[in-house]
């Protein structure tokens, strides 16, 4: 116990010693005053000067500032010794708003040796806060019966500033009924009361909106406002009243029961139950009147209760009272004078006296259609009536007044049944009463048709394409016309207008159904003979007199690949094999033979190409697919057989393609002796010149040249023999024909175009076809060579130029052939 007391005593002595030492160190206190909200960096004081210290000691002795607050608002500049603002200081944040003085305490501490300087910084208040009301809006309910001088407490405003910067006074917005009374409390606070200056009248002003303003004493002064809403409570101090003491109302007789006459609307300036009213009849209203009209006590609606007749009573007097529901109820009265207005309750009448229900469309203008009478049982304006036609559409009719209350309906414009076939004519009769009453009567007028329209074709020109080889009786097209007339005037008959083409009537080529206009082909057309037809078709109606119209029809025949290529060179008998003899020593490229085929079709269908269908040795011969030339591709060797067999097919370019074949047997000899067959020449003429014929001419020229050489060789061989040999007739004929080429040319058909060759079709009269061999002379003429035929067999040659024309059948050709054969027998 003694040890404990000694220990305590020792500690107390030590504490006293340290406190005494520190008291000596921090004995001096420096005080400064600054306003709040100073800018950062602002200098408060120079501590080095105020404390009598050398500036160098601030750094060497490690001077530092210790502020007794959680924020470091100030600091020391060790180079200048200035105490400056580090952060803005808000007095209201540091100190309580109730405290007039506010100090910020801090210590300046130096080391070596330790020394402490106490600094108190007084924060001076500035007027940086405006007064604020705790409630921005204050509501007061004051009865309009409250006496003047009554006081009402209001919520005060508060100001965070102190002293002169705190609230100084209050102001109230201008008001005749209210003012304020300001009082000061023991602590200097300002209190305000609202005082009623005069009596309130809710009907005059039910709500008073006031503005209370609190102003502080700072410079410049700051203020805050609050809204005061005073609602005046009602008392029943106003009686109901009507807009006018007497009302005059017009009611139409025969008004339906329940018709609203009027709605009473009395006014009470009070509110709530003091303004709720009940309407009722007074004792001055008769029971008869109350039986005619009903009154809703709550809404004030007055309605028709029973039938009102103008002849029974012209007017009614009704007395109404309106009473409010206040504690001391008040009432107001008015008088209602109801005048009954006479009703125009009789409708006018319209009567059709006479009427034509049908008219022809060609009727004359001014024709009478109907007679109409009008009437009305009312009198005065209600009995005056007028008659009109319906104005929905423009009608070709007019009303003419014939006598009092009688009208006549006439045609005023030409009629057209095709435009409007029938008319709905409505006669409207209207009186001049109020409201105007009207009635109507409708008649139907049918317009009869007359034949005044010709048939109409949809097109004025028809172009019809027909593929050749058509089936006789095939339908080509339907040429239907339209006639807007009716019945027999609409019934049409179709027929072909007669026209002859090459002594042939159109009715023999075409047929048309007279009832529906269907056009048929009566024959099978051949493009190689007929190319087109142009004729007219007429449509005629059955009216009186009949009307007609016509249309042009252009029939164009389209080509079909219906002709097989005809091989005309080399010529052969039916089913026979062509034999060609060539020397075995021929070189490569030697022309063995030339196949020529013609096709009577046109365009693509007539283009002929050649192919080798069979060949005994494909390495020995070649065929040009365009000109049909067969040439050797190499020289003959001893291994090659002496006889070669070729099958050539000539195919056109149609779809499907047609073709013809020829078999050529080629024999090789060491020494060539060319026999000649007896032929005749028939010159033909063409006006088209194609590539195929060009190749043909070249080939024929080459063959002719070889033929001449062969003839010369034969002549030389014959001359060397001891016995002269007679020349074959065929060769003699050929030579004579060559010598008389110009004579034969004069007997042929000379082409108008010397440089063109056209396709030809040769048709035997006895249905036999013969191969023809075509050759072109220097004058551009084509010679057709053929074997000797029996006498009397004529040939039909149809040349198809650019423009179609009739074909010619010539018997002179047969005679020419016979003459040629006869001349070949001459020496």
Strand partners, 477: 519
Summarize the confidence of residues 343-348 as an average pLDDT: 82
Q: Are 601 and 540 within one domain?
A: no
Q: Report helix, strand or coil for 699.
A: helix
d(CA 813, CA 602): 26
Q: Report helix, strand or coil for 209.
A: strand
Orientation of helix 729-739 relative to helix 691-720, angle to 10°: 120
Q: Are 662 and 571 within one domain?
A: yes
pLDDT in tens, 601-651: 888 888 889 988 888 888 888 899 888 899 998 888 888 888 888 888 989
Chain mean pLDDT for the chain? 77
Q: Are 300 and 367 within one domain?
A: no
pLDDT of 792 reads 35
**444 Cβ contact list (under 8 Å, min separation 6):** 357, 422, 423, 424, 425
pLDDT of 674 reads 52
DSSP classification of residue 471 = P
Summarize the confidence of residues 370-377 as an average pLDDT: 89
pLDDT in tens, 48-104: 888 888 788 888 888 888 877 667 888 888 888 888 888 888 887 778 766 677 888
Q: Are 228 and 247 within one domain?
A: no
Neighbours of 138 (CB within 10 A): 19
Q: Which domain holds residue 280?
A: 241-341
pLDDT in tens, 101-110: 788 888 888 8
pLDDT of 160 reads 76
Q: Are 146 and 219 within one domain?
A: yes
pLDDT of 112 reads 83
Q: Is residue 816 a part of any domain in this protein?
A: no
Q: Is residue 727 a part of any domain in this protein?
A: no
Confidence class for position 303, pLDDT limits 50, 70, 90:
very high
Q: Is the pLDDT of residue 328 over 70?
A: yes
Q: Is residue 252 a part of any domain in this protein?
A: yes
pLDDT in tens, 503-512: 778 888 899 9
505: domain CATH number is 2.60.40.60
User: CA gyration radius for the chain?
Assistant: 69
**Domain boundary residue among 233, 262, 290?**
233
Angle in degrees, CA 137, 138, 144, rounded to 5: 135
Q: Are 182 and 256 within one domain?
A: no
Q: Is residue 312 a part of any domain in this protein?
A: yes
pLDDT in tens, 549-571: 999 999 999 888 888 888 888 87
Q: Are 183 and 99 within one domain?
A: no
d(CA 196, CA 177): 6
Strand partners, 646: 615, 664
pLDDT of 574 reads 60
Domain count across the chain = 6
**Domain boundary residue among 634, 653, 669?**
669
Confidence class for position 147, pLDDT limits 50, 70, 90:
confident
Answer whether 287's CB lies under 8 Å from 301's CB: no
Q: Are 554 and 484 within one domain?
A: yes
Q: Is the pLDDT of residue 795 over 50?
A: no
Q: Is residue 415 a part of any domain in this protein?
A: yes
pLDDT of 798 reads 31
pLDDT in tens, 663-712: 888 888 876 655 544 443 434 444 444 555 677 788 888 888 888 899 98
Q: Are 663 and 572 within one domain?
A: yes
Q: Is the pLDDT of residue 733 over 60?
A: no
pLDDT of 501 reads 67
Q: Are 140 and 111 within one domain?
A: no
Q: Are 640 and 551 within one domain?
A: no
Give Cα separations from 296 to 245, 277, 333, 514 (angstroms).
Answer: 19, 11, 16, 86
Q: Is the pLDDT of residue 334 over 90?
A: yes
pLDDT in tens, 204-250: 888 999 999 999 888 888 889 999 999 988 888 888 999 999 999 99
d(CA 331, CA 240): 5
- The tokens describing 519, both together, are 């056009």
Q: Is the pLDDT of residue 461 over 90?
A: yes
């Amino acid at each position: 116990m003694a040890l404990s007391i000694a220990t305590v005593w020792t500690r107390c002595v030590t504490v006293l010693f340290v406190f005494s030492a520190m008291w000596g160190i921090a004995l001096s206190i420096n005080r400064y005053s600054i306003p709040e909200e100073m800018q950062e960096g602002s200098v408060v004081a120079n501590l080095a000067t105020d404390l009598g210290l050398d500036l160098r000691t601030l750094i060497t002795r490690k001077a530092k500032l210790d502020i007794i607050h959680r924020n470091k608002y100030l600091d020391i500049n060790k180079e200048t010794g200035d105490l400056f603002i580090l952060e803005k200081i808000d007095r209201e944040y540091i100190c309580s708003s109730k405290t007039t003085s506010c100090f910020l305490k801090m210590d300046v501490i130096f080391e070596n040796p330790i020394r402490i300087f106490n600094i108190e910084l007084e924060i001076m208040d500035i007027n940086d806060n405006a007064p604020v009301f705790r409630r921005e809006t204050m509501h007061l309910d004051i009865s309009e019966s409250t006496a003047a001088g009554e006081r009402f407490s209001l919520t005060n405003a508060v100001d965070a500033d102190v002293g002169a910067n705190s609230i100084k006074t209050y102001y109230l917005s201008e008001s005749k009924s209210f003012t304020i009374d300001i009082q000061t409390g023991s602590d200097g606070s300002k209190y305000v009361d609202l005082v009623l200056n005069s009596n309130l009248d809710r009907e005059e002003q039910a709500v008073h909106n006031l503005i209370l303003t609190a102003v502080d004493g700072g410079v410049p002064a700051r203020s805050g406002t609050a809204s005061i809403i005073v609602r005046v409570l009602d008392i029943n101090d106003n009686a109901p009243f009507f807009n006018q003491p007497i009302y005059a109302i017009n009611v139409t007789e025969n008004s339906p029961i329940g018709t609203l006459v009027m709605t009473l609307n009395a006014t009470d300036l009070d509110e709530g139950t003091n303004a709720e009213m009940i309407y009722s009849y007074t004792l001055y209203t008769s029971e008869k009147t109350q039986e005619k009209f009903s009154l809703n006590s709550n809404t004030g609606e007055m309605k028709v209760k029973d039938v009102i007749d103008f002849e029974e009573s012209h007017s009614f007097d009704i007395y109404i009272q309106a009473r409010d529901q206040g504690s001391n109820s008040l009432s107001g009265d008015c008088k209602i004078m109801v005048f009954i207005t006479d009703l125009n309750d009789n409708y006018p009448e319209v009567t059709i006296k006479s009427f034509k229900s049908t008219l022809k469309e060609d009727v004359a203008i001014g024709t009478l259609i109907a007679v109409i009478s009008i009437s009305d049982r009312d009198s005065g304006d209600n009995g005056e009536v007028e008659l009109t036609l319906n104005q929905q559409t423009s009608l070709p009719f007019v009303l003419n007044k014939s006598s009092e209350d009688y009208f006549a309906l006439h045609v005023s414009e030409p009629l057209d049944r095709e435009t409007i076939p029938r008319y709905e004519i409505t006669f409207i009769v209207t009186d001049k009463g109020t409201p105007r009453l009207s009635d109507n009567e409708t008649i139907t007028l049918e317009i009869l048709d007359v034949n005044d329209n010709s048939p109409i074709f949809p097109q004025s020109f028809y172009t019809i394409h027909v593929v050749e080889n058509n089936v006789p009786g095939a339908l080509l097209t339907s040429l239907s016309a339209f006639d807007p007339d009716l019945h027999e005037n609409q019934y049409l008959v179709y027929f072909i207008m007669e026209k002859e083409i090459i002594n042939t009537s159109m009715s023999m080529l075409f047929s048309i159904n007279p009832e529906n206009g269907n056009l048929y082909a009566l024959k099978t057309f051949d493009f190689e003979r007929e190319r087109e037809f142009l004729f007219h078709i007429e449509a005629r109606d059955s009216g009186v007199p009949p009307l007609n119209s016509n249309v042009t029809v252009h029939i164009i025949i389209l080509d079909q690949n219906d002709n097989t290529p005809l091989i005309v060179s080399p010529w052969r008998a039916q089913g026979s094999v062509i034999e060609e003899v060539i020397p075995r020593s021929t070189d490569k490229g030697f022309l063995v033979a030339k196949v020529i085929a013609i096709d009577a079709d046109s365009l693509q269908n007539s283009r002929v190409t050649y192919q080798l269908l069979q060949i005994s040795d494909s390495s020995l011969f070649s065929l040009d697919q365009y000109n049909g030339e067969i040439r050797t591709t190499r020289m003959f060797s001893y291994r090659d057989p002496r006889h070669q067999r070729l099958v050539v097919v000539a195919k056109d370019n149609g779809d499907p393609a047609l073709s013809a074949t020829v078999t050529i047997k080629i024999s090789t000899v060491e020494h060539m002796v060319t026999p000649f067959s007896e032929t005749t020449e028939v010159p033909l003429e063409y006006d088209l010149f194609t590539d195929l014929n060009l190749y043909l001419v070249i080939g024929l020229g080459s063959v002719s040249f070889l033929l001449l050489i062969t003839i010369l060789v034969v002549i030389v061989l014959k001359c060397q023999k001891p016995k002269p040999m007679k020349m074959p007739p065929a060769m003699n004929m050929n030579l004579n024909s060559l010598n008389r080429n110009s004579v034969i040319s004069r007997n042929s058909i000379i082409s108008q175009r010397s440089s063109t060759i056209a396709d030809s079709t040769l048709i035997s009269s006895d249905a036999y076809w013969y191969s023809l061999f075509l050759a072109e002379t220097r004058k551009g003429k084509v010679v057709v060579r053929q074997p000797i035929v029996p006498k009397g067999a004529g040939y039909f040659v149809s040349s198809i130029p650019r423009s179609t024309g009739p074909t010619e059948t010539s018997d002179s050709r047969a005679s020419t052939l016979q003459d040629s054969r006869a001349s070949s027998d001459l020496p």
